[in-house]
Amino acid sequence: MSTKEEYLNMLREARKQLPSVVASGERFMPPKPVIVIEGKQTHIVNFKEITNVLNRDPKLLARYLSKELGSPYFLTEDAKKLILSRRIDPRQVENRIDRFIGTYVVCPHCGRPDTIIVKVKKTWILRCLACGAETPIPKI
């Protein structure tokens, strides 16, 4: 077998091992939170990057995490970094971010993340720009 054939075979094998959703580019992959414990604080170093990809106001996710994790917080300049003023297990932080995405970002009807939050009177609604579904969500 020539080197070129070997190379092509290798590519084919690698592609087979990819789950089909990844291969088609359909899966929504928000950045993994980078969490650093500093003294008595928990820092989410790439907070801005996460909220940019989720297309959500950093203050909204900050408030959610603060409430869920029972910790006061502050955002650094430009909301680059979120600082929770308590030591929190990074797995708990990741878990709450996943939950936030499940409730406040991904449309429960079509599973796409192309959504916006609209406030109608006192109700919060997750409006999907892909399928048009409107889902009431809990206020934060």
Binding site residues, Zn ion, CB under 5 A: 107, 109-110, 128, 130-131, 133
Q: Which is nearer to Zn ion, 66 or 115 (CB)?
A: 115
What is the 8-class DSSP label of residue 18? S
Closest contact distance (angstroms) between CB of 44 and Zn ion is 28
Q: Which is nearer to Zn ion, 11 or 110 (CB)?
A: 110
Report the 10 Å Cβ neighbour count for 4: 8
Closest contact distance (angstroms) between CB of 115 and Zn ion is 7
**CA-CA-CA-CA torsion for 92, 98, 101, 102, nearest 10 degrees?**
-110
Cβ–Cβ under 8 Å, residues 92 and 78: no
Q: Which is nearer to Zn ion, 21 or 131 (CB)?
A: 131
Q: Which is nearer to Zn ion, 18 or 131 (CB)?
A: 131
* Nearest-angstrom CA–CA distance, 77 and 22: 35
Q: 135, 73, 79: which is closest to 105 by C-alpha?
A: 135
Closest contact distance (angstroms) between CB of 107 and Zn ion is 3
Q: Which is nearer to Zn ion, 45 or 133 (CB)?
A: 133
Cβ–Cβ under 8 Å, residues 133 and 110: yes
Closest contact distance (angstroms) between CB of 50 and Zn ion is 21
Closest contact distance (angstroms) between CB of 72 and Zn ion is 35
Residue with tokens 């939950």: 99
